[in-house]
């Protein structure tokens, strides 16, 4: 839409915008009352009257509301945002870039003319200034809003890439056993050399702007041993805990514990290994790693294990929870984000098999 549609003096457009805003809000409320946990109502809500409307409609369904106000005082950030995100909006498809930029600047002026900041101390809100330079909290006093605040504190707009790969083939991989802390095979060590060569060729290792995340297990550490850059080890990235079945093959589990094998096949997401973990347990365990990856401002290679990488891949690609345990993460494969977008798509680079 051109900037005239957002002019507060355009009464006809004002009615249409209110109609669309209410329709979107009602759609979110319907989803929330049908079992949704967190709904993000992405709207300007620049006036107190609009926020009062949101509160009123959500209160009818006992939905807790937390407002998020993003304030940008740094004009360079504003300009960068316009040119990197708004120009790709359908509103400006096939338009001259400079004309589109001017139009959006005018749209911002329309917003500013009616803008009323959050200052009601009775409301739960977060003010994020200059994308995290300063954060102001008010009445954030329960678990879920606190977790959302933690997530917001780790966001930034610095371009970076996140790469995912499993460790090289291990001795347990070779024999079909799960878990353990076995070293790499000759084939796995060959992959470690290939991974190092690829990293040195394609990433700015010599500038110190590459970090490697590994688990605390030998096979991930050995896979990165030939790459000369900063490395961080996280026990949180260790493979899913197979409990009593650690070191067994799936065939052995099926033969010796058929009921457990059937239970895992019936619900792989929620099945918990005896004295071990389920995928739901694992997702909760790696959540701090997700926040840490969001916080990074340089390229990161995560060298971890199949179940862990399934969780990370599902997070970055917004896959449904039920699909997480079935993501294909083969050995000796790098999952590469397409530049310059720092989020994942289904781009796979087969380094070597």
Active site residues: 166-167, 173, 219, 239, 305
State the CB neighbour count (10 A cutoff) for residue 344: 22
Q: 122: which strand partners? A: none
Dihedral sign (CA 292, 225, 228, 306): negative
- Quick one: 307 exposed, middle or buried, by C-beta within 10 A (0-12, 13-18, 19+)? buried
Among 295, 289, 282, smallest CA distance to 213 is for 289
Quickly tell me which residue has 């900037």 as its tokens.
3
From residue 47, alpha-carbon distances to 54, 59, 112, 129, 135 in Å are 11, 19, 10, 18, 21
> Which tokens belong to 282?
């694992």
Spatial CB neighbours of 44, under 8 Å, sequence gap ≥ 6: 50, 111
The secondary structure of residue 321, as a DSSP letter, is G
From residue 334, alpha-carbon distances to 188, 191, 267, 310, 353 in Å are 14, 11, 28, 13, 11
Among 230, 93, 209, smallest CA distance to 158 is for 209
Residues in the chain, total: 353
């Amino acid at each position: 839409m051109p900037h005239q549609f957002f002019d507060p003096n355009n009464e006809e457009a004002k009615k249409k915008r209110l109609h669309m805003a209410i329709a979107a809000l009602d759609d979110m409320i319907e989803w929330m009352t049908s079992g949704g946990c967190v709904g993000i109502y992405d709207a300007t809500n620049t006036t107190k009257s609009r926020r009062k409307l949101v509160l009123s409609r959500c209160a009818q369904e006992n939905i807790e509301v937390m407002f998020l106000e993003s304030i940008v005082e740094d004009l360079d950030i504003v300009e960068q945002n316009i040119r990197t995100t708004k120009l790709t909006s359908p509103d400006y498809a096939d338009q001259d870039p400079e004309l589109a930029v001017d139009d959006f600047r005018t749209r911002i002026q329309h917003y500013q003319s009616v803008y009323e900041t959050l200052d009601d101390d009775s409301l739960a809100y977060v003010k994020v200034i200059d994308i995290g330079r300063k954060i102001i909290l008010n009445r954030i006093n329960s678990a879920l809003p606190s977790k959302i605040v933690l997530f917001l504190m780790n966001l930034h707009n610095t371009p970076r890439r996140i790469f995912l790969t499993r460790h090289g083939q291990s001795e347990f991989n070779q024999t079909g056993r799960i878990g353990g802390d076995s070293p790499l095979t000759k084939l796995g060590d060959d992959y470690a050399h290939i991974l190092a060569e690829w990293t040195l060729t394609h990433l700015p290792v010599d500038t110190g702007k590459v970090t490697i995340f590994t688990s605390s297990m030998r096979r991930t550490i050995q896979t990165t041993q030939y790459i000369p850059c900063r490395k961080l080890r996280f026990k949180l990235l260790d493979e899913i805990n197979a409990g009593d079945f650690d070191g067994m093959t799936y065939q052995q589990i099926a033969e010796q514990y058929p009921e457990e094998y059937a239970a895992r096949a019936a619900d792989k997401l929620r099945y918990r290994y005896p004295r071990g973990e389920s995928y739901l347990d694992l997702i909760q365990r790696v959540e701090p790693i997700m926040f840490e990856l969001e916080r990074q401002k340089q390229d990161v290679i995560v060298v971890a294990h199949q179940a862990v990488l399934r969780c990370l891949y599902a997070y970055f690609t917004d896959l449904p929870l039920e699909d997480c345990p079935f993501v294909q993460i083969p050995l000796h494969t790098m999952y590469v984000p397409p530049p310059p977008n720092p989020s994942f798509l289904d781009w796979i680079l087969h380094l070597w098999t």
